[in-house]
Structure 1
């Protein structure tokens, strides 16, 4: 190499040089780093995770199985810890990380504390109450899906919904589901979904670390999802992953496939149910037919059905008996009334004026034929008639005489 000519290094040589320099500095050989655990992932050889602080800075870390078993607690995302270890460089990738051998728990990290505070706040407002939960429609006509574009969650949902219940229309609203742009993208998707003619809405994404799922703990997203006008299903992460949207959704599924099963009836199961209902209906109809046939046989064995004319003759005989009874009752009644009339007539004749006149009395009548019963009615010159036993005498009054 000529003087002044720069040495050309390979990538491996650069990375190896950096590794030698950093790992050779005594300061980096014994570090104690304070931070909040994020992206805690267990592998066969050990655990890979990040430490982060309130400024958003991150440090990649590893802790191998030889040290894991001696930890006094079970670390998880959100724990604030002191990590003891040394700086290590992975030359092949040119990455440095903290190779930890001990962790001491300091409490909850700031992000987890903020999440707990938000959870308490929303719970106090009643957003998690069971009374707010709505029933999912049994036979939805339209199903909405909010998920990442071309994601495994989208593929699983489309496949399972179409297989189980192809009668439903599917509306897909793609959104960014991870990173700083995710909350706004999810809010836009929820707003679009609210304007579609949906019967149920599914919010889904696959598993990930707490950091990956943080968008589903965003207060704006949680509130928008909780106020969606139709029943909702959350399918975020795996069974062990729980986000705030899970608390406000009407139903929670551990996987996108589970969400598809919650949102739809199984068409095959529906067919089996219909077949069973058909069998039960046929059985009920057959039973009813048997009952009616037995009743018909019972009726057909009666005399009327065996000999209809006999019933007619019996009815005719009854009618004749009724006629005779009515005739006899009428004759008896008429005889009684005739006898009563005769007696009344005899009484009337006994009290008749003619009978009285026949016994030597007379009856005076004025010109109008009305009976005169007082001398006051016969003033002088008054014409009147006197009815006697053997005739009628016309007379004129000469006036009234005083009684002696």
Structure 2
């Protein structure tokens, strides 16, 4: 007989299950029970049961963030994970890595995921579409049911935080077959109301209760609003498609009212803190304005008609005196220049004539040197035919009549014959 201690037995059980491949990535379906998310770790602890048995489960925060629906007690789910036995008390537990809804919840989940993916592709949930919520609103439009705690929570929060802001409620059905169309109408009216912010809100509920807020038409109605929208649907653990489409998502209706309004007490406290600084600023502004008024008074005095006439009269007198002095100086200069010119004029004329005579003599000499008639004085003659000078014997033929030019006259001649040299 192999006798073991309790510790040895539990260790063998743990090692056996840990080595068994069928217990790694096991898929188990059942009903959620005692589902709780612990704070601040964010881990979920729950049981998975069927009519006969139950097993404890844990899903750590990293994997829980990837779950696309809100797990609740009584919901049928399929989880995958590893089976683990703890040696200390031989407790068996599933360490879940994924979770999907089954049955009716699964169908709703699948439909919601399909709509979400389609709207994601269209950019409806894009971050660049998000708009800031006005910090100091004058009016807030609230789309919610006509009854229930949501109206009271929002009204109480707004009146407590910022009573200067008015609230308009747009009643709508928030669950059931007609809720989607009712919500779309109410959202459209709120968007046209001139409100600074719209809050779309309802309390918590099952996945079926929140289904209208996961429809494509309501999601697009929120996304198409010209007014910034805060979505506050369900509890903190619930997330709907309208939350993705809104500019801001609030965990609860009360939180939405807080996001939509400033805290008046904080504003008043800041004003009290800033009062001395504001007083100094006002004193500086008043001082600057008084200085500006004094400057303006001086400018007005300088710009008065009497002052301007006096300045103009003085300016005319000064300019007249300057003009008189300029004219006298100019006349004296011209008289002196004229006197000097008169003394120099005879000599300048004589010199100019002498220069011209010399230039003419030089030109005459140059012309004589270039004249063809000077060549004729040395015994040469110029033969012309029909008024043109003959420069070659080739230009003449027998019986041509020519004119022979001498230095002292000319003679007519006829060519009898010619000879080429």
**Aligned: 1:140 with 2:146:** no
Q: 1:285 deviation in Å?
A: 5.3
What residue is the counterpart of 2:174 in the other structure? 177
- In 2 relative to 1, CA 259–39 (structure 1 residues): closer, same or farther, beyond 3 Å? farther
What residue is the counterpart of 1:199 in the other structure? 196
Task: Please list every run of 5 or more consecutive structure 1 residues that lacks an aligned counterpart in the other structure.
Answer: 1-33, 52-60, 83-101, 294-324, 353-404
Q: TM-score, normalised by structure 2?
A: 0.49
What residue is the counterpart of 1:164 in the other structure? 161
The answer to whether the 8 A contact 2:138-2:166 is kept is yes
What residue is the counterpart of 1:263 in the other structure? 260
**Aligned: 1:113 with 2:110:** yes
CA deviation map 1:129-182 (0-9, x unaligned): 011112222332321101222321111111121232223221101222234443
- In 2 relative to 1, CA 106–207 (structure 1 residues): closer, same or farther, beyond 3 Å? closer
- In 2 relative to 1, CA 41–152 (structure 1 residues): closer, same or farther, beyond 3 Å? farther
Q: 1:205 deviation in Å?
A: 1.6
More helix by share: 2
What residue is the counterpart of 2:344 in the other structure? 347
- In 2 relative to 1, CA 37–186 (structure 1 residues): closer, same or farther, beyond 3 Å? farther
The answer to whether the 8 A contact 2:32-2:46 is kept is no
* 2-structure distance, mates of 1:37, 1:207: 21
The answer to whether the 8 A contact 1:49-1:62 is kept is no
Q: TM-score, normalised by structure 1?
A: 0.51
How large is the Cα RMSD of the aligned pairs?
Answer: 4.8
- In 2 relative to 1, CA 137–71 (structure 1 residues): closer, same or farther, beyond 3 Å? closer
Match of 1:155, SS state, is helix
Q: How does 1:19-30 map to 2 (within 5 A)?
A: none
The answer to whether the 8 A contact 1:41-1:49 is kept is no
Q: How does 1:306-325 map to 2 (within 5 A)?
A: none
Which region of structure 1 is more displaced relative to structure 2, 276-285 or 158-167? 276-285
The answer to whether the 8 A contact 1:177-1:186 is kept is yes
What residue is the counterpart of 2:149 in the other structure? 152
* 2-structure distance, mates of 1:244, 1:235: 11
* 1-structure distance, mates of 2:99, 2:133: 43
What residue is the counterpart of 2:123 in the other structure? 126
* 1-structure distance, mates of 2:278, 2:335: 73
- In 2 relative to 1, CA 346–241 (structure 1 residues): closer, same or farther, beyond 3 Å? same
The answer to whether the 8 A contact 1:39-1:209 is kept is no
- In 2 relative to 1, CA 339–196 (structure 1 residues): closer, same or farther, beyond 3 Å? closer
CA deviation map 1:30-51 (0-9, x unaligned): xxxx9886898669xx989999
Corresponding residue pairs, total: 262
* 2-structure distance, mates of 1:216, 1:39: 26
- In 2 relative to 1, CA 202–50 (structure 1 residues): closer, same or farther, beyond 3 Å? farther
- In 2 relative to 1, CA 291–194 (structure 1 residues): closer, same or farther, beyond 3 Å? closer
What residue is the counterpart of 2:184 in the other structure? 187
The answer to whether the 8 A contact 2:48-2:57 is kept is no
CA deviation map 1:171-202 (0-9, x unaligned): 10122223444333323322332342322210
- In 2 relative to 1, CA 282–128 (structure 1 residues): closer, same or farther, beyond 3 Å? same
* 2-structure distance, mates of 1:215, 1:36: 27
